[in-house]
Amino acid sequence: MMKEKFARWHVLCLNYFKRDWKKILIWTLGLAAFSGGYIPPFVEISKGQGLIGLYETMRNPAMISMVGPTPITDPSNYTLGAMYSHMMLLFCGLFAMIISALHVTGHTRKEEELGLTEIVRSFQVGRQANSLAVLIETLGINLILALVTTLIMTVLKVESITVTGIVLFSLSLALAGMIGAVVALVMAQIMQTSTGATGSSMAIIGLLYILRGATDVSNQNLSMMNPMGWTYLTFPFTENNSLPIFIGIVFCVVLAIVAFALEGGRDMGAGYLPAIEGKANAKKSLLSVPGLFFRLNRGLIISWLVAFVVLGAAYGSIYGDMQVFLESNEIIKQMFTMTGVTIEESFTSVIMMVMIGMVGILPIAIVNKLYAEEERMHLSQLYATKITRSKLYWTTIVLSVISAIAGIVFAVIGLGGTAIVAMNGESTMTLATFMKAGFNYLPSTLFFVGLSAVVLGYVPKIGKAVYVYLGYSFALNYFGGMINLPEWFSKTAIQSWIPRMPASDFEVMPFVTITLISVAMILIGYTGYIRRDMQEGA
Amino acid sequence: MSEMIRIEGLKKNFGKFTALHDVTFTVKAGEVVGFIGPNGAGKSTTIRTLLGIIKGDGGSAKIFDLDVWKDSLEIHKRISYVPGDVALWGGFTGGEIIDLFMKLHGGGDQAKRDQLIKRFELDPKKKAKTYSKGNRQKVGLIAALSVEADLYILDEPTSGLDPLMEAVFQEEIAKIKKEGKAILLSSHILSEVERLADKVVIIRQGKIVETGTLEELRHLTRSSITLTTEGDVAVMENVKGVHDFSIKDGKAVFYADNESINEILLEATKLGVKKFESVPPTLEDLFMRHYEA
């Protein structure tokens, strides 16, 4: 019976390693480099009083809910290793979990949907051989990941990074990956479609992350009940607690058995949850071009706005410990300090530039969406109606600009609101100060709308290049404070033309000029969009 | 009869590649025109040019006597279109998408929509991502057939539909035809075109190689003849207009030029005809002849 179910799984498994080797290479090397390779920069940051300063910052509840807790209670025990596992392990584990989950659904439920499974099953292959093969493959990949991480960290290791800790750190990553894999395998059986399986696995992972954020702050014992907790609560380099790893392994085995039992009991292509029945008629709000475009971008807009608020709140929470944080480290100090302004104001002007730079992603994504829809041929039937290209274009631009403004408002409220609470009335800065500083960067955001618009109108295929410029100008501004760059070089980033408020004063000229340039680019993009060939399935 | 579509010498290049060399044909009111050709011959490119989705590089294309690029909106008010590959937003249900398409086209008939959903046996409550190719095609068709139009442009509308649904589609097209509407039907399925079309346009490598009614096209080619005679049928081989002659079990099988039928019959009667069968060429024969030549 067992033989029948899993016949030839090893043949499939071997093939999968062959098929996926490029992906495995990028996955393991990339994630391992990310997980283990940050030791040298951390050594830089921790010079002088850096560790103590960071310890204070990281004890902030907002930070704990984001990166997890540390078992250290005395700042002098906060070694580089303690900080490394504190700041890195949860995030790297989260990545490992997500990638593994995506891999598993991609090769189980997705292939079932595409009809590949049907072909494979017509050969002398067991009914559940594919799931077993994919699971074993994922286990193999995660073990390779652990091995490579161990190697990288061993090469880079410094005093407080012990071998025991390194092995535990790497195994925690592998465990995180396997938890993601088994969760995804169970959801692949329960849900009706692969998107449902992917979505629900991601939702579970997200929920576990948020839950542990809450319990880490309130009661750490509860985090030990959370599968995601078992990864970082091993506390490598400090407590070196291996118990969570064993709990995690048992959990994975149990969930895998559950998944195989569920799979054994269902037909191919079927799920356990009935597909939710949708509406037979469209709501009125959908039945217009703006309504349609809003619906298409709704998920994108909402998730980015939430991200902006959270990001703002994370930065805002630092304001309480600002003095300690800035004085702890030369590099950070150099980055944030300017003359003649308070540290809070100086910090605000830099962080605002960083945050509004990130807000730029949303309007670019919305403009690029119009081309994505064109290319996927979703609009083919609409081109043949009385809807003008003008309408499609301007609806997109208006939505993009509104989202940009909303993005600034949300980021500012997240940052300013939290900062004002964290500073406890010890500063003269008000929400209006933050709002002005945020909207000061509106032209730079509009500039990205304009740039995307020109690309959409003339060279839509390179829409992603706008992100590259955004990333470039972001990096230039972010690091420009640390290294002295020539004037002309830093001016290649659009934000550099705008004075940083509230540390500097508002200037009308750049504000108006960049806005006008942006409007001009939007108009230029329009002339291209209404004239060019639509590129369907190109 | 007024002309709904008039294309003359239409050209279209994609970079160095010439997709359309010289496309010329017309579609008149009340006419169903079958537009046939293999993959990559330029059918969809022609149709996209007609819709103003892409711009022609030479020649002229007019619908309702209006330029397809400059006056596309005026034209679009009175046409209805189904793309060859209906791509839908996975997150919307079929019903939502049909409503959206109808609303954005304007002038939809809700009762007709509901009736078509029933006829095509589509579940409008399912998300589009769960639809098969055939079901996606149904969504496009229902939306296009539920609105008022004078000209229907259908690009391989039945691809993915099962034979039962194909029959439903053909009935619906027949209804539209009866109402005097014009239809440009691009298709691979020659039997379908044969059944529905008044006129056939064959495109090959971006050029129109044949246009005419099925009757006219048939006339240009040969019928397949089976003949049994009392005398020796072998002499028929040398009659003018007889091709690919062979004898099997005393029966002669050959192709005959349609203009030589009379002489062939005269010769045959001299031998004493016992049995004579003539099968007109199918569209498939016509098609193959153009592509094998």
- Write down the ipTM of this complex: 0.77
* Predicted pLDDT at A2: 65
My answer on whether A213 and A302 are in the same domain is: no
Expressed as residue numbers, the domain containing A184 is 2-264
Q: Distances in Å between the alpha carbon of B237 and those of B178, B227, B268, B278?
A: 46, 12, 11, 16
My answer on whether A310 and A235 are in the same domain is: no
Note whether B78 contacts A: Cβ–Cβ < 8 A.
no
> What band does B151 get if pLDDT is binned at 50, 70 and 90?
very high
Local structure of A79: helix, strand or coil: coil
pLDDT tens digits, one per residue of A514-534: 999 999 999 999 999 999 998
Note whether A284 contacts B: Cβ–Cβ < 8 A.
no
Instruction: Please list, in sequence order, all residues whose beta carbon lies within 8 angstroms of the beta carbon of residue A111, skipping any fewer than 6 positions away.
Output: A117, A130
Note whether residue A276 is domain-resident: no
Instruction: Please list, in sequence order, all residues whose beta carbon lies within 8 angstroms of the beta carbon of residue A188, skipping any fewer than 6 positions away.
Output: A104, A105, A108, A109, A131, A194, A197, A259
What residues of chain B lie within 8 A of the CB of A384, using their CB?
51, 53, 76, 79-81, 153
A14-39 average pLDDT score? 90
A95-114 average pLDDT score? 90
If 0-12 CB within 10 Å is exposed, 13-18 middle and 19+ buried, where does residue A501 land? buried
Tokens describing residue A121: 């099953």
Across A20-29, A204-213, A230-239, A339-348, least confident range: A339-348
For residue B280, cis peptide bond before it (omega within 30 degrees of 0): no
- Cβ separation A287–B54 shorter than 8 A: no
pLDDT tens digits, one per residue of A425-475: 777 888 999 999 999 999 999 999 999 999 999 999 998 899 889 988 887
My answer on whether A367 and A455 are in the same domain is: yes
As a whole-number percent, the residues of chain A with pLDDT over 70 amount to: 93
CA–CA separation, A497 and B155 (whole Å): 52
Under 8 Å between Cβ of B210 and B202 = yes
> What band does A115 get if pLDDT is binned at 50, 70 and 90?
confident
> What band does A62 get if pLDDT is binned at 50, 70 and 90?
low
As a whole-number percent, the residues of chain A with pLDDT over 90 amount to: 47
Note whether A531 contacts B: Cβ–Cβ < 8 A.
yes
A130-150 average pLDDT score? 95
Q: Of A217, A248, A264, which residue constitutes the final position of a domain?
A: A264
With a cut of 60, say whether residue A403 has pLDDT above it. yes
What is the H or E stretch that residue A297 is in?
A: helix A289-316
Tokens describing residue A470: 């955004």
What residues of chain A lie within 8 A of the CB of B124, using their CB?
280-281
Mark out the alpha helices in chain B (DSSP H runs): 43-50, 72-76, 94-105, 110-119, 133-145, 163-178, 190-196, 214-220, 261-271, 283-292
Nearest CB partner across the interface for B130, out of A275, A289, A377? A275
* Predicted pLDDT at A330: 67
Note whether residue A274 is domain-resident: no
- Cβ separation B100–A387 shorter than 8 A: no
Q: What is the CA radius of gyration of chain B?
A: 23
With a cut of 80, say whether residue B278 has pLDDT above it. yes
A122-133 average pLDDT score? 87
Of residues A403 and A315, the one with the higher pLDDT is A403
Note whether A193 contacts B: Cβ–Cβ < 8 A.
yes
Nearest CB partner across the interface for B124, out of A280, A378, A380? A280
* Predicted pLDDT at A332: 64
Rank A261-265, A314-318, B215-219 by mean pLDDT and report only the highest: A261-265
Note whether B127 contacts A: Cβ–Cβ < 8 A.
yes
Q: Distances in Å between the alpha carbon of A154 and those of A150, A151, A167?
A: 6, 5, 9
Q: Of A249, A264, A279, which residue constitutes the final position of a domain?
A: A264
With a cut of 90, say whether residue B182 has pLDDT above it. yes
The answer to whether the predicted template modeling score (pTM) of the entire model surpasses 0.90 is no
Give the angle subtended at the CA of A53 by the CAs of A48 and A59, to the nearest 5°. 150
The total number of structural domains that make up chain A: 2
Q: Which residue shows structure tokens 């509840």?
A: A61
* Predicted pLDDT at A232: 93
Q: Which of A158, A354, A120, A536 is nearest to B81 (CA)?
A: A536
With a cut of 60, say whether residue A482 has pLDDT above it. no
Note whether A192 contacts B: Cβ–Cβ < 8 A.
yes
Note whether A298 contacts B: Cβ–Cβ < 8 A.
no
Note whether residue A283 is domain-resident: no
B135-152 average pLDDT score? 94
Note whether residue A257 is domain-resident: yes
My answer on whether A94 and A62 are in the same domain is: yes
Q: Which residue shows structure tokens 């079901």?
A: B135
Q: Of A264, A298, A328, which residue constitutes the final position of a domain?
A: A264
My answer on whether A164 and A313 are in the same domain is: no
Note whether B111 contacts A: Cβ–Cβ < 8 A.
no
* Predicted pLDDT at A183: 96
My answer on whether A228 and A296 are in the same domain is: no
Buried b / exposed e along A78-92 (16+ C-beta atoms within 10 A): bbbbbbbbbbbbbeb
> What band does B243 get if pLDDT is binned at 50, 70 and 90?
confident
Tokens describing residue A312: 């703002």
A414-429 average pLDDT score? 84
Tokens describing residue B6: 């008039």
What residues of chain A lie within 8 A of the CB of B89, using their CB?
296, 378
My answer on whether A6 and A93 are in the same domain is: yes
Give the angle subtended at the CA of B141 by the CAs of B139 and B145, to the nearest 5°. 125
What residues of chain A lie within 8 A of the CB of B140, using their CB?
381
Nearest CB partner across the interface for A279, out of B76, B95, B103? B95
- Cβ separation B93–A385 shorter than 8 A: no
Note whether A536 contacts B: Cβ–Cβ < 8 A.
yes
Size of interface A-B (CB pairs under 8 A): 108
Mutation site, A380, A390, A392, A459, interface B, largest B CB count within 10 A: A380
> What band does A362 get if pLDDT is binned at 50, 70 and 90?
very high
> What band does A220 get if pLDDT is binned at 50, 70 and 90?
confident
> What band does A224 get if pLDDT is binned at 50, 70 and 90?
very high
Note whether residue A186 is domain-resident: yes
A341-370 average pLDDT score? 88
Across A390-399, B155-164, B219-228, least confident range: B219-228
A96-115 average pLDDT score? 89
CA–CA separation, B77 and B52 (whole Å): 13
**Half-sphere exposure at residue A185, Cβ-oriented, CA atoms within 13 angstroms:** 31
What residues of chain B lie within 8 A of the CB of A386, using their CB?
73, 76-77, 104-106
Note whether residue A538 is domain-resident: no
Across A68-77, A149-158, A342-351, A487-496, least confident range: A342-351
My answer on whether A121 and A203 are in the same domain is: yes
My answer on whether A249 and A297 are in the same domain is: no
What is the H or E stretch that residue A238 is in?
A: none
β-pairing verdict for B32-36 and B182-187? parallel
Nearest CB partner across the interface for A377, out of B83, B95, B105? B83
Buried b / exposed e along A225-246 (16+ C-beta atoms within 10 A): ebbbbbbbbbbbbbbbeeebbe
Note whether A340 contacts B: Cβ–Cβ < 8 A.
no
Nearest CB partner across the interface for B85, out of A281, A287, A377? A377
CA–CA separation, A55 and B30 (whole Å): 81
Under 8 Å between Cβ of B97 and B88 = yes
DSSP B127: B
* Predicted pLDDT at A328: 63
With a cut of 70, say whether residue A275 has pLDDT above it. no
Mutation site, B93, B96, B123, interface A, largest A CB count within 10 A: B96
My answer on whether A485 and A407 are in the same domain is: yes
> What band does B99 get if pLDDT is binned at 50, 70 and 90?
very high
> What band does A483 get if pLDDT is binned at 50, 70 and 90?
low
Instruction: Order across the sheet with B182-187: list the strands.
Output: B66-67, B58-63, B3-14, B17-28, B207-213, B199-204, B32-36, B182-187, B151-155, B79-82
Nearest CB partner across the interface for B140, out of A195, A296, A381? A381
Q: How many CB atoms within 10 Å of residue A281?
A: 17
Of residues A157 and B141, the one with the higher pLDDT is B141
My answer on whether A256 and A317 are in the same domain is: no
Note whether residue A503 is domain-resident: yes
Q: What is the mean pLDDT of chain A?
A: 87
Q: Which residue shows structure tokens 């991200």?
A: A307
Note whether residue A272 is domain-resident: no
My answer on whether A226 and A368 are in the same domain is: no
Distance separating the N- and C-terminal Cα atoms of chain B: 35
Of residues A481 and B151, the one with the higher pLDDT is B151
* Predicted pLDDT at B7: 95
CATH numbers and ranges of domains, chain B: 3-217 (3.40.50.300), 221-292 (3.30.70.980)
Note whether B151 contacts A: Cβ–Cβ < 8 A.
no
What is the H or E stretch that residue B154 is in?
A: strand B151-155
3-state SS, B191-216, equals: HHHHHHCCEEEEEECCEEEEEEEHHH
As a whole-number percent, the residues of chain B with pLDDT over 70 amount to: 98
If 0-12 CB within 10 Å is exposed, 13-18 middle and 19+ buried, where does residue A432 land? exposed
